[in-house]
C-alpha cells in the first residue's frame, strides 16, 4: 500500500504511515479542526489519501450590518473564511422594523435580494461575486415568479443554484435565500 497526499495552504505535515483506514486526524495545538483523512488501496486506481480541512478559528470572521435584518438566532449574517463568504439564509424582512415587506412572494424575493446585497456589500463583495445560491420556497409553484426577480440581480454567468420547496420557513416566510461568494484575495 502506498500513500499520497495533497497538501493545501495551512495543512500541517502528517506522518501518513501511522494512521489507519478512515481514522480521524488530530493536530496538536488546535491548528486544524475537524480534519479527516481517508486512504484507498484500489488495485485499479492510484492509491491516495484525501485530507479535508475546516478553518481554524483565526481565519473565520463574522460579518454584520444594520442595513440587513439581524440574525434570528445564534448565527451570523455571514462568515468570511479562506477568501469565501458564506451568507446565512436571508428573509424578506425590512431591517428597520423586522417585519415582512408584504405577504407577496415577489415583494419578499425583492427584499431578500436587497438584504443579501447589503450583506455582500458589508463583506466587500457584490452580486457578481456570488458563485452558489440556495433558494428555499414555501411553495414551488412560485418558482417562475422568483426567477423573474432573481435574474435582475445576478449578472452572467449566473451562480450555480439549488431550489427546494420546504415544509416551513422562519416566521412563515414565502422565501429564504442563502449564498456563497468568492472574495478577492
pLDDT in tens, 125-173: 999 999 999 999 999 999 999 999 999 999 999 999 999 999 999 999 9
- Record the pTM: 0.71
Q: What is the mean pLDDT of residues 179-185?
A: 93
In angstroms, the CA 139 to CA 86 distance is: 25
**Residue entry with cell 440556495:** 134
- How would residue 59 be classed by pLDDT, with cut points 50, 70 and 90? confident
Kindly report the number of other CB atoms within 10 A of residue 47's CB atom: 13
Q: What is the mean pLDDT of residues 33-61?
A: 52
**Residue entry with cell 439581524:** 70
- Going from the N-terminus, what domains does the chain have, and what CATH number goes with each? 61-182 (3.30.1330.40)
Within 13 A of 103's CA, how many CA atoms are on the CB side? 1
Amino acid at each position: 500500500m502506498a500513500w499520497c497526499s495533497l497538501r493545501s495552504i495551512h495543512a500541517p505535515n502528517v506522518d501518513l504511515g501511522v494512521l489507519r483506514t478512515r481514522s480521524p486526524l488530530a493536530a496538536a495545538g488546535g491548528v486544524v479542526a475537524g480534519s479527516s483523512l481517508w486512504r484507498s488501496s484500489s488495485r485499479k486506481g492510484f492509491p491516495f489519501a484525501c485530507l479535508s480541512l475546516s478553518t481554524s478559528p483565526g481565519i473565520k470572521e463574522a460579518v454584520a450590518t444594520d442595513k440587513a435584518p439581524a440574525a434570528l438566532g445564534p448565527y451570523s449574517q455571514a462568515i468570511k473564511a479562506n477568501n469565501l463568504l458564506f451568507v446565512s439564509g436571508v428573509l424578506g424582512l425590512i431591517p428597520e422594523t423586522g417585519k415582512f415587506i408584504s405577504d407577496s412572494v415577489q415583494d419578499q424575493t425583492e427584499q431578500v435580494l436587497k438584504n443579501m446585497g447589503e450583506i455582500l456589500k458589508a463583506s466587500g463583495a457584490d452580486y457578481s461575486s456570488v458563485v452558489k445560491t440556495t433558494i428555499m420556497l414555501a411553495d414551488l409553484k412560485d418558482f417562475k415568479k422568483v426567477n423573474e426577480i432573481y435574474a435582475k440581480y445576478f449578472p452572467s454567468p449566473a451562480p450555480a443554484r439549488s431550489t427546494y420547496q420546504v415544509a416551513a420557513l422562519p416566521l412563515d416566510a414565502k422565501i429564504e435565500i442563502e449564498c456563497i461568494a468568492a472574495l478577492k484575495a
